């Protein structure tokens, strides 16, 4: 459990979307950045390619991103793990061919005051589901899969696996209409007790900002693949 829950809660706020934050030229620069970065992980089970936004590949883009994010959320520190040399990375760029399941990006250090995370879509088709439900126990993938729950020897930056969410939010069945439209890649029983707060329809040039304590997941809406930049901050 995070040691700074009260400080974290004081800064929580509803999700927000800033439309038209990036021009098409700037989005093209992000795409070129993505192409130039080395692959960090190719998770064939999740069908996702992950690249770390390493420092030094495009310093103008790094400054542009940090300045615009600061304009929206105020002062922050990066909390995106580090490279082999101990330098902060700016985030993760993910190329997904299948939806990412239910999880929370609540950090790996219990004494950090986690803050906001952002998502910048680089492709137009996709959506992200943010739930009202919150979790303060670190970065976690929520599942009922027995094989996933057995995984204990996790590498640096990997989410722990847990089914404890099923005991936290009550027994209310999940909304079937939303499930059938957006979440058929999840077992509906795994969504028990969850309520949707916001459905972010991806739009190139926009940015989604939300608290790192929110449970969230991709929707099942994908055309071929989608690419997005996820970044994580702390105070």
In this prediction, residue 34 has a pLDDT band, given cuts at 50, 70 and 90, of very high
**pTM for this predicted structure:** 0.94
In this prediction, residue 1 has a pLDDT band, given cuts at 50, 70 and 90, of low
Which residues are CB-contacts of 142 (< 8 A; sequence separation ≥ 6)?
A: 101, 102, 103, 104, 162, 163, 164, 165, 190, 215
- As a whole number, mean pLDDT of residues 70-89 equals 91
Total domain count, the chain: 1
CATH of the domain at 94: 2.60.120.590
Which residues are CB-contacts of 92 (< 8 A; sequence separation ≥ 6)?
A: 40, 50, 51, 52, 53, 80, 229, 230, 231
What's the pLDDT tens digit per position in 187-229?
999 999 999 999 999 999 999 999 999 999 999 999 899 999 9
What is the domain range of residue 27?
5-234
Phi and psi, residue 62, nearest 5°: -60, -45
């Amino acid at each position: 459990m995070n040691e700074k829950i009260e400080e974290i809660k004081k800064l929580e706020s509803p999700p927000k979307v800033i439309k038209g934050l990036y021009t098409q030229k700037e989005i093209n620069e992000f795409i070129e950045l993505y192409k130039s970065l080395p692959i960090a992980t190719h998770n064939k089970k999740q069908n996702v390619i992950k690249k770390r936004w390493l420092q030094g590949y495009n310093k103008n883009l790094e400054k542009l991103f940090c300045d615009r994010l600061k304009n929206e959320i105020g002062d922050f520190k990066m909390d995106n793990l580090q490279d082999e040399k101990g330098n902060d990375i700016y985030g993760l760029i993910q190329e997904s061919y299948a939806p990412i399941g239910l999880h929370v990006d609540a950090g790996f250090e219990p004494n950090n005051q986690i803050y906001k995370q952002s998502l910048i879509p680089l492709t137009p088709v996709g959506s992200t589901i943010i739930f009202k439900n919150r979790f303060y126990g670190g970065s976690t993938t929520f599942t009922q899969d027995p094989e996933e729950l057995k995984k204990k020897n996790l590498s640096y930056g990997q989410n722990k696996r847990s089914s404890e969410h099923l005991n936290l939010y009550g027994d209310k069945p999940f909304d079937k209409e939303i499930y059938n439209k957006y979440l058929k890649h999840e077992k509906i029983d795994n969504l028990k007790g969850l309520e949707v707060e916001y459905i972010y329809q991806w739009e190139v040039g926009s940015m989604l900002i939300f608290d790192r304590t929110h449970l969230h997941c991709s929707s099942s809406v994908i055309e071929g693949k989608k690419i997005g930049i996820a970044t994580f901050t702390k105070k």
